[in-house]
C-alpha cells in the first residue's frame, strides 16, 4: 500500500529503533496496544499539546496517553508541583504520609466515596475491588460485559463467542453490553454465587460506547437484588463529569475504581466506596484483607494528583472541557455523515469506527462484528500522521486540556479532506 510505503520511508529512525527494541522486548514492545505494523512510531518528546517522533516530525497529540494525559505534556502547575515535591518531600518514604490522606480526602469528596485506597494502576484497582467484593460476600463469581476492559488481565473483547454468555472461570461474560434483559437474566442466573458485577458506564477501550442510563440502573438493581457488590469502573470515565460518570447518571455503586489522570500523569489507581464494603481492608479489623504495594502511596503521584484535581481540573473546568469535547465530536460526525466513518463517545473521549453500514446507534461491540473496515482505518491513521495528527490506530481520541481550538478545527478539516480524497471508498 502506498500510504504504508510512505510511512516506512518517512520514518527510518523509528524503524531502526524497533529493530533494536525487538532484541530485548518481545515484539519490541512493552504495551501491546501500542504495537502497530509494520513498526510503531517511536516518540522522543512531548510539549504542551504536541509530541515529536524520532525522525523529528511534530504531531498534535490526540492520543492523550489513552486518557491519562488529561493535563497535556507541560502544564505549569503539574510541572511545578512535581519539582517542588521532589525537592521538599522526596520520593517514597516507607511510611504513611499526610499526602496520601489529603489526596484520599479530595477523591472521597469529589466522587462521593466514604473510603478509598490507593494503588498503582487501574488494573490493580479493579483486582483489589474484586478481591474486596469476594471477601465481603464470601462468593466467587464476577459478572462482566463483553467489550469491557478493566485492565491488562481483566480484558473481555467483544464478538468472539457465539453464545450469549461465556463462562471464563470465575468470570461470567454477558455478551451484549447495553442489553438489559440479557444482563438481568445472567445476574439472576449466577444468583447467590455472584460476588460482584463489574461494569463501565461507558466502554472506553471497547470503542467509546456509552452505557444507556436505563441499562446501567437496571444492572445496578439486579446486582443489589442478588446481594452482590456493584462496581463501576471509572478508570477512564471519571473525567467525564465533576463527580464521575456514574454520579452524573444517578448510579449508586458500592465501589468505584479510578486511575489515569488522577495521579497527575504518574502511575496511579484507586478504589473506594461504601464504608461497610471497604472495611474488609481495615487492618484494625480481625480477619481483614491485606492490601499492600510498595508504591501505593508514592509521594509524587499523591501530591501531583492532588494538585491537578484541586487546582487544574476543577468541577467547572471539567464541565467546560467535556462540553467542548461534545461539540468537537458533533462537528466530526457532521462532516462524516453518510460515510463509512462513525463517531461514538461522550464529552472528551471519542471513538472512531470505520464500518460498513450499521443500522441505528452502535450500542455494543457485537454491533460492529464483521462490519469493520480495518483497511480504511489503517489508511486514515497513516494519512493523519502525514497531516501531523497523532491518533491511536484502533480509533480513539482522548482530548487534553489546553489543546488550541484552531488545532481541533484543523483536525475537522483534515477528516473532511480525507473523506473527499477517498470518496469512492468512504461514501456508503
**Environment class of 135 (CB within 10 Å of its CB; exposed 0-12, middle 13-18, buried 19+):** middle
* Whole-angstrom distance, CA of residue 356 vs CA of residue 377: 12
Task: Give the shortest CB-236-to-ligand PLP separation in angstroms.
Answer: 4
Closer to ligand PLP by CB, 183 or 235: give it.
Answer: 235
Closer to ligand PLP by CB, 7 or 215: give it.
Answer: 215
Q: What is the CA radius of gyration of the chain?
A: 22
Task: Give the shortest CB-211-to-ligand PLP separation in angstroms.
Answer: 12
Task: Give the shortest CB-152-to-ligand PLP separation in angstroms.
Answer: 6
- The CB-nearest residue to ligand PLP is 122
Task: Give the shortest CB-173-to-ligand PLP separation in angstroms.
Answer: 15
Task: Give the shortest CB-187-to-ligand PLP separation in angstroms.
Answer: 20
Closer to ligand PLP by CB, 234 or 383: give it.
Answer: 234
Contact residues for 55 (Cβ-Cβ < 8 A; gap 6+): 10, 11, 12, 13, 14
N-term to C-term CA, the chain: 22
Closer to ligand PLP by CB, 132 or 259: give it.
Answer: 259
Closer to ligand PLP by CB, 156 or 321: give it.
Answer: 156
Closer to ligand PLP by CB, 10 or 36: give it.
Answer: 36
Task: Give the shortest CB-191-to-ligand PLP separation in angstroms.
Answer: 26
Task: Give the shortest CB-126-to-ligand PLP separation in angstroms.
Answer: 6
* Whole-angstrom distance, CA of residue 187 vs CA of residue 218: 11
Closer to ligand PLP by CB, 107 or 336: give it.
Answer: 107
- Determine how β-strand 349-354 pairs with β-strand 341-346: antiparallel
Task: Give the shortest CB-206-to-ligand PLP separation in angstroms.
Answer: 9
Residues that bind ligand PLP (CB under 6 A): 66, 121-123, 126, 149-151, 200, 204-205, 233, 235-236, 259, 269
Task: Give the shortest CB-23-to-ligand PLP separation in angstroms.
Answer: 26
Closer to ligand PLP by CB, 187 or 236: give it.
Answer: 236
**Environment class of 34 (CB within 10 Å of its CB; exposed 0-12, middle 13-18, buried 19+):** middle
Roughly what angle, to the nearest 10 degrees, separates helices 180-190 and 213-225? 10
Closer to ligand PLP by CB, 125 or 226: give it.
Answer: 125
* Whole-angstrom distance, CA of residue 253 vs CA of residue 89: 35
- Determine how β-strand 349-354 pairs with β-strand 269-273: unpaired
Amino acid at each position: 500500500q502506498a500510504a504504508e510505503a510512505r510511512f516506512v520511508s518517512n520514518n527510518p529512525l523509528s524503524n531502526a529503533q524497533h529493530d533494536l527494541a525487538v532484541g530485548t522486548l518481545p515484539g519490541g514492545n512493552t504495551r501491546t496496544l501500542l504495537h502497530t505494523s509494520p513498526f510503531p512510531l517511536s516518540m522522543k518528546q512531548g510539549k504542551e499539546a504536541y509530541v515529536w517522533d524520532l525522525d523529528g516530525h511534530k504531531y498534535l497529540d490526540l492520543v492523550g496517553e489513552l486518557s491519562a494525559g488529561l493535563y497535556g505534556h507541560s502544564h505549569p502547575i503539574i510541572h511545578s508541583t512535581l519539582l517542588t515535591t521532589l525537592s521538599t518531600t522526596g520520593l517514597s518514604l516507607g511510611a504513611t504520609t499526610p499526602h496520601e490522606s489529603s489526596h484520599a480526602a479530595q477523591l472521597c469528596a469529589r466522587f462521593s466515596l466514604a473510603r478509598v485506597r490507593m494503588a498503582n494502576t487501574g488494573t490493580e484497582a479493579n483486582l483489589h475491588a474484586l478481591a474486596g467484593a469476594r471477601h465481603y460476600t464470601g462468593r466467587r463469581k464476577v459478572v462482566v460485559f463483553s467489550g469491557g476492559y478493566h485492565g491488562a488481565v481483566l480484558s473481555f473483547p467483544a464478538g468472539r463467542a457465539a453464545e450469549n454468555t461465556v463462562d471464563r472461570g470465575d468470570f461470567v461474560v454477558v455478551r451484549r453490553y447495553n442489553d438489559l434483559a440479557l444482563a438481568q437474566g445472567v445476574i439472576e442466573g449466577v444468583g447467590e454465587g455472584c460476588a460482584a458485577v463489574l461494569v463501565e458506564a461507558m466502554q472506553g477501550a471497547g470503542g467509546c460506547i456509552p452505557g444507556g442510563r436505563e441499562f446501567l440502573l437496571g444492572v445496578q438493581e439486579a446486582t443489589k437484588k442478588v446481594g452482590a457488590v456493584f462496581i463501576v469502573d471509572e478508570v477512564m470515565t471519571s473525567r467525564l463529569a465533576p463527580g464521575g460518570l456514574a454520579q452524573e447518571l444517578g448510579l449508586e455503586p458500592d465501589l468505584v475504581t479510578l486511575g489515569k489522570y488522577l495521579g497527575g500523569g504518574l502511575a496511579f489507581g484507586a478504589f473506594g466506596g461504601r464504608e461497610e464494603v471497604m472495611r474488609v481492608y481495615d487492618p484494625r479489623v480481625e480477619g481483614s484483607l491485606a492490601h499492600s504495594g510498595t508504591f501505593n502511596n508514592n509521594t509524587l503521584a499523591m501530591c501531583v494528583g492532588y494538585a491537578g484535581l484541586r487546582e487544574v481540573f476543577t468541577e467547572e473546568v471539567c464541565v467546560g472541557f467535556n462540553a467542548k469535547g461534545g461539540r468537537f465530536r458533533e462537528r466530526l460526525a457532521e462532516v462524516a455523515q453518510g460515510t463509512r466513518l462513525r463517531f461514538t463517545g461522550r464529552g472528551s473521549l471519542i471513538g472512531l469506527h470505520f464500518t460498513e453500514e450499521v443500522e441505528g446507534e452502535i450500542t455494543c461491540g457485537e454491533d460492529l462484528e464483521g462490519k469493520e473496515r480495518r483497511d480504511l482505518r489503517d489508511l486514515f491513521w497513516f494519512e493523519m500522521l502525514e497531516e501531523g495528527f497523532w491518533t491511536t490506530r484502533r480509533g480513539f481520541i482522548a482530548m487534553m486540556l489546553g489543546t488550541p481550538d484552531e488545532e481541533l478545527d484543523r483536525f475537522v478539516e483534515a477528516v473532511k479532506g480525507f473523506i473527499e480524497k477517498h470518496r469512492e471508498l468512504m461514501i456508503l
